[in-house]
Structure 1
Amino acid sequence: MQKLFNLCFELEFYIKIAISCAIVQQAFYFLLNNIEINFITQVLLYWLVGSISFYGIGFLIEKIKTNDVWREKLNARVKKVKKQPFPSFTVKGIITGEIKAFISALIILYLAPEVHRGNSLLLNLGWFLMRIVAADLCFYVSHRLFHTKLLYKIHLKHHEFSDSSSFVAGHKSLLEYIIVTLTDVLPIFIFGYDITQLCAWSFIGNAYNLEGHSSLSIFFIPSNFHDLHHTSFHGNYGIHGFWDRVFNTLNPTTKKPGIMFPVSLLEYKSIKSSLSNDRTI
């Protein structure tokens, strides 16, 4: 039964990402379907969606964390760590980051073949489900390599923090940024891109990445999975726990039951019911 709960718990994350991406893709398709978009406009759109969603969602999450009631209610962190001051935003840092993001968008769209996939909700749902499973595997492989003796120095900047903030998601060395970006878009180079899908993926990808570094369980992140990685520096290399379970690198997580995480809630109620029955025997 526990293995079934674990499998459903990990699949729930993938399905939630796929459904969210498919819904957002529909919105972009509605906005862009009757507009002729040239290459430069696509680059600008992809870059703007990524940048605006990164800062917008990040500041929203950090605003939630300033509210004591919501922070306590949504907190996913179990193991306490010493609080750390996080890097402050600077004009130079923001400009440098946006230059990197724009150049990445330009290179990705220049090299990847464009494919128009339309707005079939079912087909897009299937595409995004494949996309998140593949992206998780690619990230797992690259991230695990970052923790080898050969490459760990590339990754040390990101691991300056045991405590975590949503914007730690973007705190990387230039080389790590390039490698992570390449692994994330590898399926796009293989299968081609549809600009509406790409924008939806960028938006939702920022949402779960920022939430995953915030120590909160709001919508996508149902456990302290990534908190444990920042605490121990070992294990939990994927976006979520599926590939870590497959390759036996999973640090057992504490799941956050709640209405947004039905599998965790069902498991929690099942365990609670089982304990109650044991006491009555």
Structure 2
Amino acid sequence: MKKFFDFCLEMEFFFKVTISCLIMQQIFYWLLHDIELNFISQVLLYWFVSSVSFYSIGFFIEKVIKNNETLKDKLTVRLKKVRKQPFPDFTIKGIMVGEIKSFITALIILYLAPEVTRGNSLLLNFGWFLSRIIIADLCFYVSHWLLHRKLLQKIHLKHHEFADSSSFVAGHKSLTEYIIVTITDLLPIFIFGYDITQLCAWTVVGNAYNLEGHSSLSIFFIPSDFHDLHHTCFQGNYGIQGFWDRVFNTLNVPTKKIGIMFPVASVEEYITIKSSSNID
């Protein structure tokens, strides 16, 4: 029964991402369907959406949610205490370098990936997003696992300067790792092609679960200590979440967050309590 609920929790993540992307895609379609965008316009839009969503979601987590002690305590399930670390300050130079990398990434992705116009079919978009998150998780797992092998480990060490984690650690990586991650992100787009409304939706939701995954909080997508355990142990939990780690036997089991945002864990707890009371 436990394995069944573990599988359901991992499927819950895939469906959360898919449905969130579908909702965002509908918003972008409503805003853009009457506007004809050329290549440069698409690049600028994709870059703008990516940058604005990254900083706005990250600052909301760090400055709003984490400054509310009641909310912070409610959303964390971290069990393993780690040494508190000061995180790098934002500098004009750092932001500019980050934005240049982000713009070049958008340029490369939209130049190389095949554009496919899918209209506004909910079924097609649902299938695209669900397939994309499952394949993206696998691609990330493989590249992340490789970055922890001795040959490539030095490339990844900058990201692991922090045992204690914070949302913006998600973007703290070497240039070489950034390129590897960009190539990894390209693979699913090459497989499925892209529609600009889908791509914009994907980058907003992708930033949300990536920032949450590094935040040490369980807000909506991922148990708070899934990636914490990766940073503190420097091994295991190589995927975005636990599905592929379970498949390849590299899972450090995270603490399940109970609540309305994590319904599978709540159902499992209810059934466990019910079963225990029946036995007694």
TM range, smaller chain: over 0.9
1:46 aligns with 2:19: no
Cα deviation for residue 16 of structure 1 reads 0.5
1:219 aligns with 220
1:18 aligns with 18
2:158 aligns with 157
- Matched AA of 1:224: D
Cα deviation for residue 223 of structure 1 reads 4.5
1:58 aligns with 58
Q: Name the % identity.
A: 73
Counterparts of 1:1-281 in structure 2 under 5 Å? 1-63=1-63, 64-278=65-279, 280=280
In 1, the alpha carbon distance for the partners of 2:276 and 2:191 equals: 50
Is residue 157–residue 172 contact of structure 1 (8 Å, CA) maintained in 2? yes
Is residue 222–residue 264 contact of structure 1 (8 Å, CA) maintained in 2? no
Q: Deviations over 1:200-227 (max 9, x none)?
A: 0000000000000000011111342111
Gaps of 5+ in 1: none
Cα deviation for residue 188 of structure 1 reads 0.9
TM-score by length of 2: 0.98
- Matched AA of 2:143: S
TM-score by length of 1: 0.97
Is residue 164–residue 213 contact of structure 1 (8 Å, CA) maintained in 2? yes
- Matched AA of 2:92: V
Q: Deviations over 1:168-193 (max 9, x none)?
A: 00000001011111111211123221
In 2, the alpha carbon distance for the partners of 1:76 and 1:155 equals: 26
Cα deviation for residue 78 of structure 1 reads 1.5
In 1, the alpha carbon distance for the partners of 2:31 and 2:223 equals: 32
SS of structure 2 residue aligned to 1:99: helix
In 2, the alpha carbon distance for the partners of 1:148 and 1:94 equals: 30
Is residue 112–residue 188 contact of structure 1 (8 Å, CA) maintained in 2? yes
Q: How many residues align?
A: 279
Greater shift in the superposed pair: 172-181 or 214-223: 214-223
- Matched AA of 1:45: L
SS of structure 2 residue aligned to 1:118: coil
In 1, the alpha carbon distance for the partners of 2:96 and 2:77 equals: 32
- Matched AA of 2:272: I
